[in-house]
Amino acid sequence: MIIGVTGSFASGKTTAANMFRELGYSVIDADKIGHDILKKEAYGKVVKAFGKEILKKNKQINRKNLGNRVFNDKNQLKKLNKITHPIIFKKIRERIKKIKSKKIIIDAAVLIEAKWYKVCDKVVVIKINKSNQLKRAKNKEYAESIIKNQLPQNKKLKYADFVVDNNKSLNNARKQIIGILESFN
């Protein structure tokens, strides 16, 4: 069973994915893969597309600067996604093949937008109201710029087989996740 877990920025999707991990699932973290490929496979293409001003002094990509740039310009975001999404998806598929367990979570904010949900048996959307989302974000302005560039929550919910309402406690979210897993039996 491959379950895609998605939600908007600061919705708690990674926390939910970790709860699935604690319950015996292997987790593939698309964000972590995205960070890793900026150091290797996508590095040259990203630097060529966005210029050397996105680099730190040590020649690594400054993800914060890149993020500020792409989350304030939809065309720049599309350009970055065109470079990174195919590589990330290739890595996701490779990891699915390597995982011996057939209990897999794909933790991805862009699961729907990138059409990665198509490899999933079920989709779980982590739902949160905007005020709670912004409370959880460290930088409210940066969070707003990311949120406005993501697929709206109401559109993600249309793809959901299950919804976890993450506006309450972690214990409440855990109970919902356990309920989802129990429904598979």
Tens digits of residue pLDDT in 130-150? 889 888 887 887 788 888 888
Total number of domains constituting the chain: 1
Q: What is the predicted pLDDT for the residue at 154?
A: 94
**Interval 78-105 mean pLDDT:** 95
Whether 68 has a pLDDT exceeding 80, the answer reads yes
**Interval 154-180 mean pLDDT:** 96
Lowest mean pLDDT among 80-89, 114-123, 145-154: 145-154
Q: What is the predicted pLDDT for the residue at 143?
A: 82
Q: Taking every pair of C-alpha atoms in the chain, what is the biggest distance, in angstroms?
A: 53
Name the more confident of 114 and 100. Answer: 114
Q: What is the predicted pLDDT for the residue at 140?
A: 81
Q: What is the predicted pLDDT for the residue at 100?
A: 85
Whether 38 has a pLDDT exceeding 90, the answer reads yes
Q: What is the predicted pLDDT for the residue at 163?
A: 98
Indicate which CATH number applies to the domain containing 128: 3.40.50.300
At 48, list the tokens.
Answer: 């060529």
DSSP conformation letters of 87-136: HHHHHHHHHHHH-SSS-EEEE-TTTTTTTGGGG-SEEEEEE--HHHHHHH
Q: What is the predicted pLDDT for the residue at 138?
A: 79
**Interval 9-25 mean pLDDT:** 94
Residue range of the domain that includes 114: 2-183
Q: What is the predicted pLDDT for the residue at 18?
A: 95
Core vs surface per residue 104-134: b (16+ CB within 10 A) or e: bbbbbbbbbbbebbeebebbbbbbbeeeebb
Model confidence pTM above 0.85: yes
